[in-house]
Amino acid sequence: MSNPTPDPMMPKPGFPTTRMRRNRYDDWTRRLVAENQLSANDLIWPVFVHGGDEARIDIPTLPGVARLSIEQLIKDVGEAKSVGIPLVAVFPVVDPDKKTDEAEEAYNADNLVCRAVAAVKEAHDGIGIMCDVALDPFTSHGHDGLLRDGYIVNDETLEVLCKQAVVQAKAGCDVIAPSDMMDGRAGAIRTALDAEGFQHVRIMAYAAKYASALYGPFRDAVGSAPNLGDGDKKTYQMDPANSDEALREVALDIEEGADMVMVKPGLFYLDILQRVKEAFSMPTFAYQVSGEYAMLKVAGQQGLVDGERVMDEALLAFKRAGANGILTYAALETAKKLG
């Protein structure tokens, strides 16, 4: 087939008729044509809570982030709420002497994370609280599941994860976030929650979570790094080489009842984020993890880059790739600025 005859009345496409720079001419035009925008509604704020009285204990490898006492957590969640952050993810710093091989503390209804969640829910409404479901803060070996003969066993771990999810829901947790990458956990947890009457508790699955080197500062923050030692999580977290496999992982979590899905880490995995959003049209989230956050922060502090602007650019990149929202340690400072 030949090309249609060009209409002599129509301007020829391309330069000089088309000048892409016109829409970049001034600030208001750029704002008008912007395809993506970051707002406080897009931000999920991960926070660390410890069991002591000290209001804030700095985390050396995570600049600007501290472990908070429960009392301080309540104040800071109040601040997050006041700047429009919809959801806070609470991570416990568990006492080393409460960590065991079988992670019993994970389903102690009076454990630190449950007490923290209950206290925050008591103090505030109108802001959601999310909790990880995974055993790594509670195991003596630092793994997300139960260890048998050097291997993290799947189905036995599921039973513990279900008990953990139920105590967290009872404490008032709104969103359960399985981050362990065991097979079948989303479905098992959904069934366990429903059996206890928690039909409304949402599941945000860490659906495509990679065995990444970027989790180091987080493991320092929750104190699981010394327990894990040289161990790695490659028999359950995904191989960074893989992309199709992420779609299979996400499909399974959706089938099993996940309400929202997450890709983790963030910036190195924007291709995965985009594929997941396109394939499933699910509420899809990205986790800007501790290592990537720390790298940007430190580069800013050292004056290598403008730290604030690179952070804003990174967060906008998640939106452009298709994220409905982003878990970031920079959520509070960013939401304050956007306000």
* Binding of ligand PBG by 290 (CB under 6 A): yes
Among 42, 76, 105, 136, binds ligand PBG (CB under 6 A): 136
Q: From residue 119, how far is each of 135, 150, 190, 276, 289 by CA, in Å?
A: 22, 38, 25, 35, 26
Three-state SS string across 320-334, please? HHCCCEEECCCHHHH
Q: How many Å apart are CA 315 and CA 36, to the nearest integer?
A: 11
Cβ-based nearer residue to ligand PBG, 72 or 227: 227
Q: How many Å apart are CA 135 and CA 312, to the nearest integer?
A: 33
Shortest reach from residue 121's CB to ligand PBG, in Å: 21
Q: Which stretch binds ligand PBG (CB under 6 A): 128-136, 192-200, 247-255, 312-320?
A: 128-136
* Binding of ligand PBG by 267 (CB under 6 A): no
Q: Which burial class, exposed, middle or buried, applies to 299 when counting CB atoms under 10 A from its CB (0-12, 13-18, 19+)?
A: middle
Q: Which two tokens stand for residue 257?
A: 């009842």
Cβ-based nearer residue to ligand PBG, 134 or 326: 134
Burial track 61-99 (b if 16+ CB lie within 10 A, e otherwise): bbbebbbbbbebbbebbeebbebbbbbbbbbbbbeeebb
Shortest reach from residue 235's CB to ligand PBG, in Å: 13
Cβ-based nearer residue to ligand PBG, 281 or 326: 326
Q: Which two tokens stand for residue 117?
A: 């969640």
* Binding of ligand PBG by 144 (CB under 6 A): yes
Among 132, 174, 249, 256, binds ligand PBG (CB under 6 A): 132
Cβ-based nearer residue to ligand PBG, 98 or 233: 233
* Binding of ligand PBG by 256 (CB under 6 A): no
Sign of the torsion formed by the C-alpha atoms of 52, 58, 61 and 64? positive
Shortest reach from residue 295's CB to ligand PBG, in Å: 12
* Binding of ligand PBG by 45 (CB under 6 A): no
Site residues (CB under 6 A) for ligand PBG, limited to 160-189: 179-180
* Binding of ligand PBG by 249 (CB under 6 A): no
Q: How many Å apart are CA 101 and CA 118, to the nearest integer?
A: 27
* Binding of ligand PBG by 134 (CB under 6 A): yes
Question: Is residue 209 annotated as a catalytic residue, yes or no?
Answer: yes
Question: Pick from 283, 259, 253, 276: which is nearest to 186 by CA?
Answer: 253
Q: Which of 209, 233, 297, 319 is flagged as catalytic?
A: 209
Q: Which of 81, 98, 163, 264 is flagged as catalytic?
A: 264
Q: Which burial class, exposed, middle or buried, applies to 206 when counting CB atoms under 10 A from its CB (0-12, 13-18, 19+)?
A: buried
Q: How many Å apart are CA 87 and CA 43, to the nearest integer?
A: 7
Q: How many Å apart are CA 310 and CA 9, to the nearest integer?
A: 46
Find how far residue 141's CA is from the centre of its chain. Answer: 23
- Print the binding letters for residues 62-91 with ligand PBG: x by CB under 6 A, - otherwise: ------------------------------
How many residues touch ligand PBG (CB under 6 A)?
A: 12
Q: Which stretch binds ligand PBG (CB under 6 A): 53-61, 74-82, 113-121, 129-137?
A: 129-137
Question: Is residue 264 annotated as a catalytic residue, yes or no?
Answer: yes
Active site amino acids = 209, 264
Note the residues at the interface with ligand PBG (CB under 6 A). Answer: 132, 134, 136, 144, 179-180, 215, 218-219, 233, 289-290
